[in-house]
Structure 1
Amino acid sequence: MKNYSPQQLALRNGQDREEIWIAYKGIIYDVSNSRLWKNGTHYEHWSGQDLTDELKDAPHTERVFEKLEIIGKLTN
């Protein structure tokens, strides 16, 4: 699995490039084709970043990530 830095993830925010990526628990997911992430936002959440700490406030569980394509690992 390919490694990506937080800076590389940040570029995939739906604004700087076509790709829309998010990270959760060190894994990067592609949400580019999700209607819920249109323009790189999903409610008050922004793509291009690690959303691990934000999931506790979500109305869903981490099972939503099972449907998404894994892009790689988030490294520091």
Structure 2
Amino acid sequence: MAGKFEPKVPVQLDPPKDDPISPEELAKANGVDGAKCYVAIKGIVYDVTGNKAYQPGGPYHVFAGKDASRALGKTSTKPEDVSPEWKDLPDKEKGVLNDWITFFSKRYNVVGRVEGATNFDE
């Protein structure tokens, strides 16, 4: 079961960074006009720039430049579900969210944490 989230092609990741990223900076990292493309989960910011799915026109662009914790837990791409709030989700959806964190952490570099985020695991 441990290999369930392993990428098909091994990914060489940089050591995770703990740099503060302001919500404004995160919002600008939406892949538009060649900008970097970041997605945050539970306040941790991942660089998904190389994945076309998160770029404008891609199926997951709704997550770009945002903390998508709630939507990922709900397995939703509805813009109204894209929110950092996840603590009120049912346990099953919290489990799905944790699976997404495992998935992202094996594929994308951690470039920092959202400044002022209060939605970390506690």
TM-score, normalisation: structure 2: 0.53
- Rg: which structure is higher? 2
Post-superposition Cα deviations, 1:41-61, rounded to whole Å, max 9, x if no partner, equal: 434733001011111222863
Alignment correspondent of 1:69: 109
State the alpha-carbon separation in 1 of the partners of residues 21 and 57 from structure 2. 18
Which structure carries more helix by proportion? 2
State the alpha-carbon separation in 1 of the partners of residues 62 and 113 from structure 2. 20
Checking the alignment, whether the CA contact within 8 Å between 1:3 and 1:74 is kept in structure 2 is yes
Q: Percent identity?
A: 28
TM-score, normalisation: structure 1: 0.81
Alignment correspondent of 1:18: 35
Q: Does 1:9 align with 2:26?
A: yes
My pick for the range that moved more, 19-28 or 33-42, is: 33-42
Alignment correspondent of 2:85: none
Runs of 5+ consecutive residues of structure 2 not aligned to the other structure: 1-17, 77-95, 117-122
Checking the alignment, whether the CA contact within 8 Å between 2:37 and 2:47 is kept in structure 1 is yes
Q: CA RMSD in A?
A: 2.3
Runs of 4+ in 1 over 2 A off after TM superposition: 38-46
**1:16 Cα deviation (Å)?**
5.5
Which structure carries more strand by proportion? 1
Q: Which has the higher contact order (CA 8 A, sep 6+)?
A: 1
Secondary structure at the residue paired with 2:73?
Answer: helix
Q: What is the number of equivalent residue pairs in this alignment?
A: 76
